[in-house]
Amino acid sequence: MAAIETQLPPATFMRISRSTIVNWNAIKELQPLFHGEYSVILRNGTRLTLSRSYRDKLDQLMGRMS
């Protein structure tokens, strides 16, 4: 996954867990869960979990978009 992640544009794709990379544009909603995790709801209805260890990347991306 790390090799794939380095080949994707970081402004468009973000890793949200050990085994999941998502297109930022596909995210419809983020809902906070417990212990720093988030439920990531995609535009097609798929629900994924953003793990705590990848939350810093989300915070960085959100800071860039503000």
For 20-42, the pLDDT digits (tens) are 999 989 999 989 888 888 899 99
Strands 13-17 and 20-23: antiparallel
Whether 40 contacts 16, CB under 8 Å: yes
Whether 38 contacts 50, CB under 8 Å: yes
Single pTM value for the model:
0.77
The pLDDT value recorded for residue 45 is 96
Q: Give 66's pLDDT tier (boundaries 50, 70, 90).
A: very low
Identify the bridge partners of residue 39 per DSSP, sorted by sequence position: 31, 49
Question: Distance (Å, rounded) from C-alpha 33 to C-alpha 43?
Answer: 19
62: pLDDT strictly greater than 70: no
Question: Distance (Å, rounded) from C-alpha 66 to C-alpha 53?
Answer: 22
Higher pLDDT, 38 or 57: 38
